[in-house]
Structure 1
């Protein structure tokens, strides 16, 4: 076993390929100082309690104090979180993260009286106060609070629930530690016959291998581990679902879905329209699966055959260095100002690049109002990683524009629009590659990648959304979410989505156990709606439609100054109607037609 390829430890990675967290806090002592400051602010905040209705001056002072606490606290929390994510086995980092979580819970409890007390102010009186110049900038902030009037509990009850947030999140945290730090995956062989330690990142690469035996072995070995812990994962997931349903019920929502979507003022019809449209277009996915089976030349198409390029060769591969150059070129259509911030991300160490031992799997963009918008990657030299880079860069530049154009109270953006910026970049990269490569083999590879991306983002995430909604409905009806029931339902749902040409694999039925997004409370559907909306936005920008880029940059700068659907209408996409979804499926079909023609 001495020649088994192991992941490097963090201290073996060049500093230039790690993010610079000293830009947040120089050291742990500075973090401690900020921690104490927030604790002090929390003790002082109670002076405003039961005085918000005294007049506009008191309301203004309390609002500014509230936002100050959260602004300083976010910086503390982000630092601890990123420190832990770069090495989930680091005990010291775990300690900081736990303390940050505790402070967040204490702050939530100490500040929980604010919104209920605002709602005791007469609406007409509040409207008059907000007309004053000093409070006018908070009008949308208070309008959002007022919108939840019928779902806000008395202050003492909200405080009690906020204080228990750390407890409510315990099962999700347990899943994260188990999935990222404690699971031990077996050793498998790569295409060259080398033994490699299986990990989440390595699995993603091996599943794209053109060697079917490599794909099959990685697939079976990975899911053997999840199957071994199926009851534990069913327990953590079931507890999380129960939390979602409980908090929705006590806040007088009809369902957990209604509560989750209400946070962004999204009607449930947007969710339902997505599911309906995807189901109406499943024939396109079945057709693509059938093409994949035919081109791969297999008698039985398995789940581990769904990710390898059907062109069998990869004419486009990228090291991290070449990927930086390609990303800058592809995103140049966004204009020089946008590109300058992408360059800053590369030059100023916003990105943690290399997969290391104990590092959180996957990729994400994270940060606070006063920090850089950091990116975590687990780099592998392939086209998919280039797409991941521009995807996360879309998040980070969205964050940069928002934070530099909005005050703190609007300096973030709703989850609903978050995936739009990232997938606009993905769609833009696809068009760039198609514009710059006329060779049929390369075009086929890019088209295959696009279709796979659409499959994974629109079809697969909607499949996840259906499963997630079923989980909440089953728990609300009092049905136990056992590992057996989860596995049976997920396996049948997966088969319905991919169609009769896919051979049912018993392992894929356990996929529910490894999806972290099921713990995020109705998050996944937004990947699908975001990708579809991004398709429309990207087409406008890459074809240089008049005003398209300006509208898009305005969208990136809007933050939470408006509700998400209003922001999207300003950008040119009405997401209350199915048109944007139909348009996206039309692009999918056109590119599927071209791939079929190229492959004969």
Structure 2
């Protein structure tokens, strides 16, 4: 994932410097390698070549402290522009220049503090550093909150002339993004009232987080018969067990426990839907879907076409379930059988050096410059490789405009870890090229395009590895890995997106979202997506309560599906056309940032997400891959 600096500026808020961590859409199976990665108890034990070099940002804390003071002064001084931005294009440019300088430095300060903590979270001094960065970020947001409403208040005719001036050419799209929300802007007093009510809107998310944390799961017996504690974090690992009894026990124990709190979860969910719909209605949007997509310059038909197209192609998903059932050799396929590998796991250990070499080899098709920069990143302090007890889990790419990209890994040596390297370095390369080409104001590419380069890299790596695979077992393993990416991203995230749309619409129509209603809606959609081959066990009806994204964000997960489809189209274009396609994608996509609306960025790269074609094309790739796997399975 790309842990990113949000660059959304609307009539209600200016938030270039508000940081967020996107929800990880699905769990990557953790498969133990035959040989184990090095184990380090403390960060000091890790050799320097396996740690990212944050000293490339600040040599020491004194240098960081100096910039903190600069940001504080710049934030407090920014008020001098209030009430003066509409006088001329030159006046507006001065304000925006100062705004950019403030946000740019604040990003650097924030990123350094939080990345320092992410690799050493038990360090009290670093906790204090990150807390100081958070407080500074809040100050910056408060001191710049007046800017968007004043931009919106500039008369249309005057703003039109400003946008046509050379002075504001760099800020044209940025200003247009604010102006586009003008029909949904409110008078100052109402804006202030909505702003004051925002803590109430976040209450469902906070309550959900505490409720989910307070749910205690029972013990189950593992493969050896030993009693083990079931938790939220180890649940999926037990669903991956080769022992079906363990999978079933974990599945039933987890969801039946959740069902014991179903009314509380339902009340929190209903409150979140009410809040989303209230704020949409207050701003005169027709729906919460519009309120989510229009500010990001995404037509709502993109959302609708995604769901409709995936629904049309669900027979392919059902066919994949039939193959799963056959390969598992079971009389009935249950929801607790989804995560268990249907092909013997590749338990080979891949060192970080070997993994990086495989990624460089797999991405040679991207050209010499791309591979050269990638290699420089591996050797130049971009990547933090190994785990310690107090290091943040998972993987991400981050950085600021004035730093090179940074990638956090927790490398264990599995093949999935190799694909993670390709994924995160896809983010890193997009950030590298964008920051090199774009000014700060248009450098932070939006969420809609953020997962395209990363998943494109994974696909190119898969294609390279598959072309070299020699045995039937190797081919089956890689094909299944690829098909699982489709299932868990294109299908599963669209399933979530459909559920999210339905429950928002039902609340808007005044229907009750009690626990039984939510369970029925979710179970019906689940049955539709997995088909008759799958037994949609009644326990799965509670899965909605396990997905934090429904509470933490609004209409977000669909972008994982659209990004995945776009990445398949771009990877195919590269594989079919070679260097001309690479040049087009590099120039019009990797270097584009937010210089154009996201739909236009992708269109210039060669994929039109305003139509259903990329989704249809991705389904054709899924079908071809599925057919190839079925053929190999049936070979004698």
Q: Secondary structure at the match of 1:52?
A: coil
Cα distance per residue 1:459-496 (max 9 Å; x no partner): 00000111222232234344554555434432332222
SS in 1 for 2:451: helix
1:588 partnered with 2:587: no
Partner residue, 1:414: 446
Residue aligning to 1:528: 561
Shift of residue 560 of structure 1?
Answer: 0.7
The one of 299, 302, 314 equivalent to 1:270 is 302
Q: Corresponding residue for 2:9?
A: none
3-state SS in 1 of match to 2:556: coil
Contact 1:465 1:525 in 2 (8 A): yes
Taking the aligned partners of 1:167 and 1:491, their CA distance within structure 2 comes to 30
- Where do 1:334-349 residues align within 5 Å? 334-349=366-381
Gap regions ≥5 residues in structure 2: 1-35
Contact kept in structure 1, 2:452 and 2:566, CA below 8 Å? yes
**2:20 maps to which residue?**
none
For structure 1, the residue ranges without an aligned partner over 5 or more in a row are none
Mapped pair 1:45 → 2:56: no
With 152-161 and 72-81 compared, the bigger mean Cα shift is at 152-161
Where does residue 288 of structure 2 map in the other structure?
Answer: 256
Which residue of structure 1 aligns with residue 160 of structure 2? 127
Change (3 A) 1:324 1:223: farther
Q: 2:604 corresponds to which residue?
A: 570
Cα offset, 1:149, TM superposition: 1.6
User: What is the aligned partner in structure 1 of residue 170 from structure 2?
Assistant: 137
Q: CA, structure 1 residues 539+92, in 2 after alignment: closer, same or farther (shift >3 Å)?
A: same
Q: Deviations over 1:470-523 (max 9, x none)?
A: 232234344554555434432332222111222233443333233233222211
1:8 touches 1:356 (CA, 8 Å); kept in 2? yes
1:405 maps onto 2:464 in alignment? no
Tell me how far 1:276 sits from its aligned partner. 0.3
The 3 A distance-change label for structure 1 pair 52 and 101 is same
Point out the more displaced range, 454-463 or 63-72: 63-72
Aligned residue for 1:424? 456
Contact 1:365 1:373 in 2 (8 A): yes
Q: Which residue number corresponds to residue 438 of structure 1?
A: 470
Do the aligned partners of 1:210 and 1:312 also contact (CA within 8 Å) in 2? no
Cα separation, 1, equivalents of 2:422 and 2:199 = 33
Paired residues for 1:157-176 under 5 Å: 157-158=190-191, 161=194, 168-169=201-202, 171-172=204-205
State whether structure 2 residue 90 is matched by structure 1 residue 62. no
Asked if the contact 1:20–1:350 (Cα under 8 Å) also holds between the matched residues in 2, the reply is yes
- SS at structure 2 position matched to 1:50: coil
1-side partners of 2:384 and 2:219: how far apart? 25
Q: Which residue of 2 aligns with 1:304?
A: 336
When residues 466 and 550 of structure 1 are mapped into structure 2, their CA distance, relative to the original with a 3 A threshold, is same
Q: Contact between 2:43 and 2:388, CA under 8 Å: does it hold in 1?
A: no
Check the 8 A contact 1:491/1:508 in 2, yes or no.
yes
Q: What is the Cα deviation at residue 131 of structure 1?
A: 4.0
- Is the Cα contact below 8 Å between 1:101 and 1:166 reproduced in 2? no
TM-score with structure 1 setting the length: 0.88
Q: Output the CA distance in 2 between the equivalents of 1:127 and 1:196.
A: 66
Aligned length: 594
Over aligned residue pairs, what C-alpha RMSD do you find? 3.4
> 1:179-207: CA deviations, max 9, x gaps?
7x888777878778899887777555554
**CA 1:12 to 1:234, structure 2 compared with 1: closer, same or farther past 3 Å?**
farther
Distance 2:585 2:46 in 1: 36
TM value normalised by structure 2:
0.83
Is the Cα–Cα contact under 8 Å of residues 354 and 379 in structure 1 kept in the other structure? yes
Q: How does 1:163-312 map to 2 (within 5 A)?
A: 168-169=201-202, 171-172=204-205, 203-216=235-248, 218-220=250-252, 223=255, 226=258, 234=266, 237-312=269-344
Paired with 2:379 and 2:486, the residues of 1 have a C-alpha distance of: 31
Mapped partners of 1:225, 1:91: distance in 2: 36
1:350-393: per-residue Cα shift (whole Å, max 9, x none)? 33444554655543323322234333334444333322322222
* 1:539-595 CA distance string (max 9 Å, x none): 111233462101111111001110111111111111111111111111111111111
Matched residues in 2 for 1:493 and 1:142: separation? Answer: 40
Q: Please tell me whether residue 579 in structure 1 is matched to residue 592 in structure 2.
A: no
For the structure 1 residues 371 and 109, does the alpha-carbon distance in structure 2 shift closer, same or farther, using more than 3 Å as the test?
same
- Structure 2 distance, partners of 1:591, 1:200, is 33
The answer to whether the aligner puts 1:111 opposite 2:136 as a matched pair is no
Once residues 103 and 195 of structure 1 are traced to their aligned partners in structure 2, the CA distance between those partners, rounded to angstroms, is: 47
SS state at 1:453 partner? helix
Question: Which residue does 2:21 correspond to in 1?
Answer: none
